[in-house]
Amino acid sequence: MWSLAGALLAMAAMLLVLGLQPRQRPLTQDDIDAAVRHALEKEPLPSPYAKAAEAIAPSVVRVIGLMDEKDDGDENVQLNAEKKALDRSLGTGVVILDNGTILTNLHVVHGARRIKVRFHNGHESEAQLINVQPENDLAVLKATSLPDDLEAATMRSTSDLRPGDQVVAVGHPFGIGPSTSAGVVSGLKREFRDPEGKKMLTNLIQFDAAANPGNSGGPLVTMDGHVVGIVTAILNPTEARTFIGIGFAVPIENAASAVGMPPF
């Protein structure tokens, strides 16, 4: 009896203590939002554009078309004023197979005596032209030496691409890069005729991410870091040759066919 009485007394005391403690207020949506804001202030999330650029960066290369056999591609060489500047074609490429297969624009390497590529980690290599697709201004290169950490880009079908979708263009505009610009898909199935009016490109992706000479051959990338096109042209009715808001890319389906890869 005494033991039972003691147990009942202890239980009553515990209930009394619990009853005196303040009850915890249930969480509201405002509490959750405030906690999220506090966390983001401490460690902001990278933008979708930054994530896309980081995903494609290891696969982007600088492409240099050397028009003079004496040109070794050294960008630090200082030419005397009386010497004629070496003629070079500068552009961008994207690795699509980890064996060193690179996509770029045909006009970037057209007429080059030699081709050099510089990978993301600074590794440089000679490259061979192994295939062309003139109707889409595409060229396929194969690097002769590869960096140890080479990564191929992931390609994605354009079948679900829509005007308004966010994209980034990564390349070496005016030789500066790699540089990233962001925008949206402006339209699909566009046509473009070169400034001389001799060549018509069709079924192009129109985009408004800034692109300039040197971006040619670079990837047009969705927010998941997948390549949907190869930047090939900009529309500019002036002689400035600078970007005015209209760029064009060859859909990756056309580009993949230039390499002999199966369709998506």
Q: How far apart are CA 20 and CA 23, in angstroms?
A: 9
107 is catalytic: yes
Q: Is the pLDDT of residue 249 over 90?
A: yes
Q: How far apart are CA 73 and CA 114, in angstroms?
A: 9
Q: Mean of the per-residue pLDDT values for the chain? A: 83
Rounded average pLDDT over 176-197: 89
160 is catalytic: no
For CATH 2.40.10.10, list the domain ranges present in the chain: 49-72+85-143, 166-259
CATH of domain 166-259: 2.40.10.10
- Please pick, among 59, 120, 137, 172, the residue that the annotation labels catalytic: 137
Instruction: Give 30's DSSP letter.
Output: H
Q: How sure is the predictor about 30, in pLDDT bands with cuts at 50, 70 and 90? A: confident
Minimum mean pLDDT range among 187-201, 214-228, 244-258 = 187-201
Q: How far apart are CA 264 and CA 99, in angstroms?
A: 20
Structure tokens at 114: 């030699």
pLDDT tens readout for residues 130-183: 999 999 999 999 999 999 989 999 999 999 999 999 999 999 999 998 999 999
The answer to whether the CB of 264 falls within 8 A of the CB of 157 is yes
Q: How sure is the predictor about 73, in pLDDT bands with cuts at 50, 70 and 90? A: low
Share of the chain above pLDDT 90, in %: 58
- Please pick, among 89, 179, 186, 216, the residue that the annotation labels catalytic: 216
pLDDT tens readout for residues 42-53: 676 778 999 999
Q: Determine the pLDDT at residue 254.
A: 85
CATH 3.40.50.2300 fits 49-72+85-143, yes or no: no
137 is catalytic: yes
Q: Is the pLDDT of residue 85 over 50?
A: no
Q: Is the pTM of this model over 0.95?
A: no
- Please pick, among 59, 89, 107, 181, the residue that the annotation labels catalytic: 107
Rounded average pLDDT over 6-29: 59
Q: How sure is the predictor about 70, in pLDDT bands with cuts at 50, 70 and 90? A: low
Q: How far apart are CA 250 and CA 155, in angstroms?
A: 13
DSSP string, 108-157: HHTT-SEEEEE-TTS-EEEEEEEEEEGGGTEEEEEESS--TT--PPPB--
Q: How sure is the predictor about 195, in pLDDT bands with cuts at 50, 70 and 90? A: low
Q: How sure is the predictor about 80, in pLDDT bands with cuts at 50, 70 and 90? A: very low
Q: Specify the amino acid at residue 55.
A: A
